[in-house]
Amino acid sequence: MPTVYITVPPAAADEIAETLVEERLAACVNSVSTTSTYRWEGEIHHDDEIVLLAKTTDDAYGELVDRVQTLHPHDVPCIERFDEADVLESFAQWRAESID
């Protein structure tokens, strides 16, 4: 089952997390505060951001990515999929039922 790693500006984080859960594209979303360090036009920048870790299913993954791209204020958002090697069976079942 995919965990989708998404970085978003703080002002957009709650809306994206709630929308994914509201529209049954994720069973739950863990939001974690982060500072992002990157280079832009030759300068090093530090931005406060939120990492969203969205717990979804194989079936819902594609639609979740499309929805995040629509809602995200940036043109090139960080959206990455990580698949777990194992998951507690009862949690996997709750997760699937929360989405389907």
> DSSP states of 5-16 as a string?
EEEE-HHHHHHH
The tokens describing 40, both together, are 């832009």
Tell me which of 9, 63, 71, 94 binds its own copies, using CB under 8 A. 94
For the bound state, the minimum distance from the C-beta of residue 19 to its own copies, rounded and expressed in Å, comes to 10
Tell me which of 10, 87, 96, 100 binds its own copies, using CB under 8 A. 87
For the bound state, the minimum distance from the C-beta of residue 9 to its own copies, rounded and expressed in Å, comes to 13
Containing H/E element for 54? strand 43-55
Q: With contact defined as beta carbons under 8 Å apart, do 32 and 51 qualify? A: yes
Look at the block and give the residue holding tokens 């069976």: 89
Residues that bind its own copies (CB under 8 A): 1-3, 5, 7, 14, 17-18, 21-22, 27-39, 44, 49, 51, 53, 55, 61, 65, 69, 75-88, 90-91, 94, 98
